[in-house]
Amino acid sequence: MGIARGMDYMHSGCKTKIINSDIKAENILLDEHLSPKMSDFGLANLCAKNETYFSVSNAKGTSGYVALEVANKNRFDGILEKADVYSFGIPLRPDEGMTTNDKEILKKMTIIALWCAQKSPYDRPTMREVIKWLEGSVDFLTKPPNELFSY
């Protein structure tokens, strides 16, 4: 939730839009209160508030986390925030020995991760939508129409 709120702020709350371009598990740190913090803004892009596209010809990111439109470079014009949304959906790590409540949380996170990792950036939610989904009940979430993975 903390990373989702931080990304939403970077995408729509700042005077200048910040696209991290390298969201991955290794770049999410925890402070002394176990609150998540984003790190490593070495590949970040600063953009005008109203800018929605950028050239993907020089875009970079970590293999496995980088959005498909950035990796393929020719597929889309480069939707800014949606590349970060894709990367946000990738680091889902299920754990053994889960309770029933844990399984419901995992189900919610899996559905949200599948939405975030849609092939087309146009099919991915905004970070604001992700936050609403994380705060809500799993009963209201539907599977994405174009699943990348089966579950």
- Label residues 44-75 b or e (16+ Cβ within 10 Å = b): ebebeeeeeebebeebebbeebbbbbbbeeee
The structure's pTM equals 0.74
- What's the confidence (pLDDT) of residue 150? 43
Helix (H, G, I), strand (E, B) or coil at 46: strand
Residue ranges of domains in the chain: 2-140
Let me know if 22 is a catalytic residue.
yes
Q: Tens place of pLDDT for every residue, the chain, 151 residues?
A: 899 999 999 998 988 888 888 888 888 899 999 999 988 887 787 877 777 666 555 566 777 777 777 766 655 555 678 888 888 888 767 566 678 788 888 888 889 999 998 988 889 999 999 999 999 877 778 888 776 554 4
Please identify which of the residues 8, 22, 102, 123 carries the catalytic annotation.
Answer: 22
Yes or no: domain 2-140 corresponds to CATH 1.10.510.10: yes
List, for residues 62-100, the tens digit of each pLDDT value: 777 777 777 666 555 556 788 888 888 887 675 666 787
Residue entry with tokens 């989904």: 133
Contact criterion met (CB below 8 Å) for 46 and 10: no
